[in-house]
Amino acid sequence: MEFCIGTCAKIDSIGLAKQAEDAGASHFGVGEGPLLFSDPYQYLALAAQQTSSIKLGTWVTNPLTRIPPVTANSIATLNALAPGRTFLGIGTANNALRSMGNRPAKLTELDNALTVTRELLAGRRTTQKWLGQEREIEFLDHNGYWYNIDDPVEVWMSAGGPKGLAIAAKHADYMTYCLGPNPDMIGLVRRELDKAVADAGRPPGSVKLVALSWFYQLRDGETWEDGIDQGFGSGPISSCITNAGFMNEHVDELGESIVKASTDAAMAYLGDPKDPNAPHYLEVWAKYLRGLDPVHRPLITKELVDYWCLYGSPDELLEKTQLMREAGADMVSVFLSNPFTAERDIADIGSSILARA
């Protein structure tokens, strides 16, 4: 079973990648946030030296903080260290750019970046628009001395909404979507993705759906509230932020209750940008993916936890993982939102899910 484990890039925690490999995970990814985490490519380069089979990649980078030739070079360099087990995860960047007070990338910018990056990784000459100019570019090392573009690099895209799905259908091998163990939501995204793939003229199944969830294994006597306090913390709010727009387009299918709950949590987290008393964006993001911010605790209800999180006893975790796959997810993944408990969580994933799948 393909299963991806992701976490923040913390440069002194390289051993997590090897632990994930030993636990049976097929993929391991690290996030990018220039003001938030360690540099992902330095992390992945070190992880490549400590692993032998697990696929490694960004989860995710973006087209604005690194222009396409830089991203293509970075991932091709990693591919030289981990030949054939490298993937490029990319999206519009919720945290990397918002934490700097900037807008996420436009979908047109992401589309263009993916076009250029894929052409470069395929060893072809392409045209890049940059600094008000159009210039032809290509990798100039044709002998594989400096980087590796001979072994294919999987392209993962984090998407949301119909326009994002269309771009993923056009470019991606895998599409990551924030999903919990709710078959209605998974089925909706699966249906819309398959339609987008068909519209893009690609064969059915060309783009695999990766369901990204938040994880915690309950101990004896623990409840869903312990999952928040001891596990995924504020993570579920990220699912609300990335899904609110798409969910509101399908409220009749998903139900008003969960759509409203997710939208309200997202708005409460981000605040009203027009409010003169709104907190500074650096304050908003200072505790992002550091576990639980007590300020956010009232926003995370059982309804949201049940909808967005992969949590429960070992038997419940395995059952929910199987449900997610049966509902249409090709791969189940978890992003460990608390780097300080990642080692514990990877061990739990290995024993409760991967060893029994």
Q: What is the mean pLDDT of residues 101-119?
A: 96
Q: Round to whole Å and give the CA distance between 88 and 90.
A: 6
Q: Round to whole Å and give the CA distance between 80 and 202.
A: 29
Measure the CA angle with vertex 263, ends 190 and 328; round to 5°: 15
Name beta bridge partners: 177: 211
Residues 6 or more apart whose Cβ sits within 8 Å of residue 138 = 120, 123, 124, 125, 126
Query: Which has the higher per-residue pLDDT, 160 or 253?
Result: 253
The pLDDT tens digits of the residues spanning 39-51 come to 999 999 999 999 9
Confirm if 216 and 309 have CB atoms less than 8 A apart. yes
Q: Round to whole Å and give the CA distance between 89 and 310.
A: 22
Position 178 scores a pLDDT of 95
Q: What is the mean pLDDT of residues 215-232?
A: 96
The pLDDT tens digits of the residues spanning 98-109 come to 899 999 999 999
Res 186 pLDDT > 70: yes
Q: What is the mean pLDDT of the chain?
A: 95
Structure tokens at 12: 């002194």
pTM: 0.95
Q: What is the mean pLDDT of residues 193-218?
A: 97
Q: What is the mean pLDDT of residues 159-164?
A: 87
Could you count the other beta carbons within 10 Å of the beta carbon of residue 111?
A: 18
Q: Round to whole Å and give the CA distance between 81 and 47.
A: 10
Amino acid identity of residue 113, one-letter, is A
